[in-house]
Amino acid sequence: MPVSIKVRYFASLKESVGRSEDDLEFAGLSTVSKVWERANSGKPLPRNILAAVNMDYVELNHAVKDGDEVAFFPPVTGG
């Protein structure tokens, strides 16, 4: 049974990937890092990227399930 995931990109990531979101389908369970790879043609995940699933920050090995929203954020800098 396919798993549908919405992927969102924020701040400078949105500009670097050239879009603000993707809708993906997977054949089975996947992880946050695999979602990135699938959405971005196998390109490695940039260093220090933050990820959230359904608005909760998670590790990149976090499993995703049907209907989840995965969001990627650049590292937060402050001064």
**Local confidence band at 79 (pLDDT 50, 70, 90 cut-offs):** low
**Local confidence band at 76 (pLDDT 50, 70, 90 cut-offs):** confident
* Number of compact structural domains in the chain: 1
Question: Quick one: which of 48, 62, 39 has its CA closest to 11?
Answer: 48
The reported pLDDT for the residue numbered 7 is 97
Range of the domain at 43: 3-73
Task: Please check whether residue 79 lies inside any domain of the structure.
Answer: no
Q: Please report how many Cα atoms fall inside a 13 Å half-sphere around the Cα of residue 41, on the Cβ side.
A: 1
The reported pLDDT for the residue numbered 5 is 95
Instruction: Quote helix, strand, coil % in the chain, to nearest 5.
Output: 20, 35, 45
Task: Please check whether residue 78 lies inside any domain of the structure.
Answer: no
CATH code (residue 18): 3.10.20.30
Q: Give pLDDT tens digits for 7-38.
A: 999 999 999 899 999 999 988 778 999 999 99
**Local confidence band at 47 (pLDDT 50, 70, 90 cut-offs):** confident
Instruction: Name the 3-class secondary structure at 5.
Output: strand
